Structure 1
Amino acid sequence: MSNELIQNHSIELVETLNQNGGVDKLLKPLIREIHLFDTYIAGTTHLEDPSILLQLNPQESLKLVREQNKFDPNAIVILDSSNKKLGYIPEKDNIVFSRLMDAGKALSAKIKSIQKKKSFMDIRISIYLVDF
């Protein structure tokens, strides 16, 4: 028996399988989404193309990706299924999620509701831990 440490590459495996269409076939039955928190998408008024928000649907799955950001070291950007930027996890909510992601945990989000306000879109989301 070896005393070597084994590095977990589950995130890289999921990304590779997802690019090749293998996640739905192979891993979907093994994936559990554990609800962690409800929040909203911040920064929607600063998008280059805000029309992308009009194409969103309730229950749509979203990607969460860590971002190097000079204003917020814990920044997590929210992307749609086409990898278009929708905004961010609010700074007041992102510290625990950024630590989980930095530790190799996979997180995702789903849209709960979309409401047009006077000058912005209020998009409520649920954040999930993707567990294998």
Structure 2
Amino acid sequence: MNELMTNNNHGLIKYLQNRELGLVLPTPFERDIYLFETIVAGTSHIENIADIEAQLALDDKLVFYREPDNRFDPQAIKIATLKGDKIGYIPKKDNLIFSRLMDAGKELFGKITRKEKKGQWTKIEMAIYLHES
């Protein structure tokens, strides 16, 4: 019973807290808070963006990863699909507050609100949310 009460990287608690396994248990008062609407920057630099874009649908969840060592922007936030395909970044003009929130341990994510092809450019619009648990 003791291994259930302590988080020592073993036992049931470790298993239940591991979101990579696909098991996500809701917590009381858990909610997603809408923060902002923006585009995905840098899609034209993604080699296989046409293949990835073809698999994207409205309301698809996007995962954010901080890149504090990014040589172009220390506040960079990479955007990927749930499959792990990189599709771009939060625009530099928008990422300062979001990077600070993520650095403080807050969980942010995106949802696709619109996508379209404009010549060679794939425009993906998204809403940014803060997951509060």
TM-score range, shorter chain: 0.7 to 0.9
- How far is 1:16 from its partner? 4.6
Deviation by residue 1:36-63 (Cα, 9 ceiling, x = unmatched):
0000000000012122122110100010
Write the letter of the residue equivalent to 2:52.
I
Distance 1:79 1:16 in 2: 22
Match of 2:46 in 1: 47
Gap runs ≥5 in structure 1:
1-12
Write the letter of the residue equivalent to 2:100.
R
- How far is 1:99 from its partner? 0.4
Match of 1:56 in 2: 56
Per the normalisation by structure 2, the TM-score is 0.82
Write the letter of the residue equivalent to 1:37.
F
CA RMSD, 1 decimal: 1.8
Deviation by residue 1:53-95 (Cα, 9 ceiling, x = unmatched):
2211010001011012000000000010101100000000000
Match of 1:79 in 2: 80
Deviation by residue 1:97-130 (Cα, 9 ceiling, x = unmatched):
0000001100010000011111211110000000
Runs of 4+ residues deviating >4 angstroms: none
Name the larger-Rg structure.
2
Match of 1:37 in 2: 36
Aligned residues between the structures: 117
SS in 2 for 1:73: coil
Gap runs ≥5 in structure 2:
1-13
Query: What percentage of residue pairs aligned between the two structures are identical?
Result: 45
Distance 1:83 1:16 in 2: 20
Pick closer, same or farther for the CA change 1:109–1:28 going to 2, 3 Å: farther
Per the normalisation by structure 1, the TM-score is 0.82
SS in 2 for 1:79: strand
Pick closer, same or farther for the CA change 1:71–1:112 going to 2, 3 Å: same
